[in-house]
Copies of this chain bind each other. A is one copy, B any other.
Amino acid sequence: MVETRNYIGEFHYTVDSKGRVNLPSKFRNARVDETVFVVTRGLDPCIYVYPLSEWNKMENGLGNLSQLRRPDRTFLRNMTRYATHTTYDAQGRIIVPKVLLDYAKIVKKAIIIGVLNKIEIWSHESLTEYEKSTGNLTDMEYNDLAGEIYL
A73 engages B137 (CB within 8 Å):
no
A59 engages B116 (CB within 8 Å):
yes
- Copies of chain A in the complex: 2
Q: Which chain B residues lie closer than 8 Å to A9 at the CB level?
A: 80-85
CB distance from A115 to the nearest CB of B (A): 5
Interface residue stretch chosen among A14-22, A102-110, A140-148: A140-148
Q: Which chain B residues lie closer than 8 Å to A67 at the CB level?
A: 43, 75
Q: Which chain B residues lie closer than 8 Å to A135 at the CB level?
A: 74
Q: Which chain B residues lie closer than 8 Å to A44 at the CB level?
A: 70, 73
Bound-complex Cα distance A63 to B113 (A):
16
- Chain B, residue nearest A36 (CB): B2
A75 engages B145 (CB within 8 Å):
yes
Q: Which chain B residues lie closer than 8 Å to A141 at the CB level?
A: 71, 75
CB distance from A104 to the nearest CB of B (A): 14
Contacting residue for A116 out of B62, B68, B75, CB 8 A = B62
Residue positions of A touching B, CB distance < 8 A: 2, 4, 6-10, 26, 36, 38, 43-44, 52, 57-59, 61-65, 67-68, 70-77, 80-87, 99, 113-117, 120, 134-137, 141-142, 145-146, 148-151
